[in-house]
Amino acid sequence: MPWLLLLVYAALIWLIFVKLKCIHLALPIAIVLAVGPLVLFYIAWAVRLYHPHSSDVQALRRIVEVAPRTSRPGRVTEVMVGANNPLKRGVALFTVDPQPFEFEVDRLRASLAALQQGAPELQAALDKAIAARKHAEAQTTLVLETYEQQVEFGSFGAVSQAAVDAAKRNLEAAVQSEADARAAEERARLELTSASGDGGTAVALLRQQLADAANDLAETKVIAPCDGFVPSIDILPGQIVGAGTAVVPFVCDVDEETRDTFVATFPQGAYPGVKAGAAAEVIFPMYPGRVFTAKVADTTEITDSGQIRSGGIAAAITLSSAELTRFAVILKLDDPNLRLLAGVHGEAAVYTDHAPLAGKFRKSVIRIETTINYLFSGK
């Protein structure tokens, strides 16, 4: 920019004072002409600092990657939409063969029914285990009384020590039998609890598996996540699609919050002059001769090259060229009805309250550039 101003300035001086000789080059005029480059350098500096320009303006749209949410891969049976057709949220995009998932749902339902039907048998087994436990308790009580009698008789010498020892062994065996009966009763009780009622662990597990299988079956119909369109169809019937693997790009309609917004990047030298709420002007080659007013909606304070990613080793700092570092700014047009295609490029200028003369110069340059777009709008 400064060199362009100097060339224009030198050309005017040569044309006026040398070629056309319209004015005699006197000393006062020469002094004024010598100060002229300083004024031009100041204007160029003020334009760059207080009224920055971006030649990288893009209208961007977010893409939703649509993927099947089934737990395992499936085969595409039908694709119901075409490219670039307007679609409403919830409309089916394509379907995955539901038959394998239906089989799994039926199998789990049968397993759940069989488990619940076996509850009466388990109740009978528990009753039998309770009876066995009570019988073992009675036997233990009887053997304990016999043992105590043998011990008492043995103290008087009425029975031999061998008889006392035999009674002791019978008591130990009865106690062990009672413990085994109690364990068998507990196992029967747990099996019955697990297989009966919604609180049973086996029933709860099967119900959860059945719910997952039913969800897989429902997800075999893949629907549009929002109002919008599919820019391209890259799947065909018969294709195997993996669970969670994006297969269809979906462009959501722009909502009111993001309507008429686009991204402009500024070099780091000009970025300090860009503030949220500042006035801006934008031009597009697809609209030659027109200048659109806008506002700075938001700014970013970091770029990809400015990130330090955490890891198990020391971060490696790579020095990059400062000329390549650009910071993104979100601009919002004042015209809500302007048609901006995603991917369209343009230029923008942001204005501040400082150096208004330099701002007028920037506005003049923007209008010259949009007029020149008449010559290159077909590119």
Contact 52, 274 (CB under 8 A): yes
Distances (CA, A) of 372 to 3, 49, 264, 364, 366: 20, 25, 21, 12, 10
Residue 118 is predicted with a pLDDT of: 54
Residue 97 is predicted with a pLDDT of: 92
Strand order in the sheet with 92-96: 221-223, 92-96, 74-79, 240-241
Coil, strand or helix: which one is 120? helix
Residue 311 is predicted with a pLDDT of: 58
Please list the pLDDT of the chain residue by residue as tens digits (379 residues). 555 656 776 777 667 666 666 766 666 666 656 666 666 676 777 777 788 888 888 877 778 888 888 888 899 999 998 888 888 988 999 999 999 999 988 888 887 777 666 566 666 666 777 777 788 778 888 878 877 777 777 777 777 777 777 877 887 887 888 888 788 878 777 766 666 555 456 677 878 888 888 898 888 999 898 888 888 888 889 898 887 788 888 888 766 566 677 888 887 777 777 888 888 899 888 888 889 988 888 887 766 666 666 655 555 555 555 456 788 888 888 887 777 777 788 889 889 888 888 888 888 888 888 888 887 655 5
Question: Taking the complete model, does pTM exceed 0.85, yes or no?
Answer: no
248-252/292-299 β-pairing: unpaired
Residue 313 is predicted with a pLDDT of: 58
Using the 8-state DSSP alphabet, how is residue 272 labeled?
G
- How far is Cα 145 from Cα 171, in angstroms, rounded to an integer? 9
Residue 185 is predicted with a pLDDT of: 76
Coil, strand or helix: which one is 214? helix
- How far is Cα 261 from Cα 255, in angstroms, rounded to an integer? 11
Residue 155 is predicted with a pLDDT of: 74
DSSP letter for each residue of 14-82: IIIIIIS--S---HHHHHHHHHHHHHHHHHHHHHHHHS-EEEEEE----EEEE----SS-EEEEEE---
Using the 8-state DSSP alphabet, how is residue 237 labeled?
T
Beta-carbon neighbour count of residue 43 at 10 Å? 19
Residue 77 is predicted with a pLDDT of: 92
Residue type, 31: I
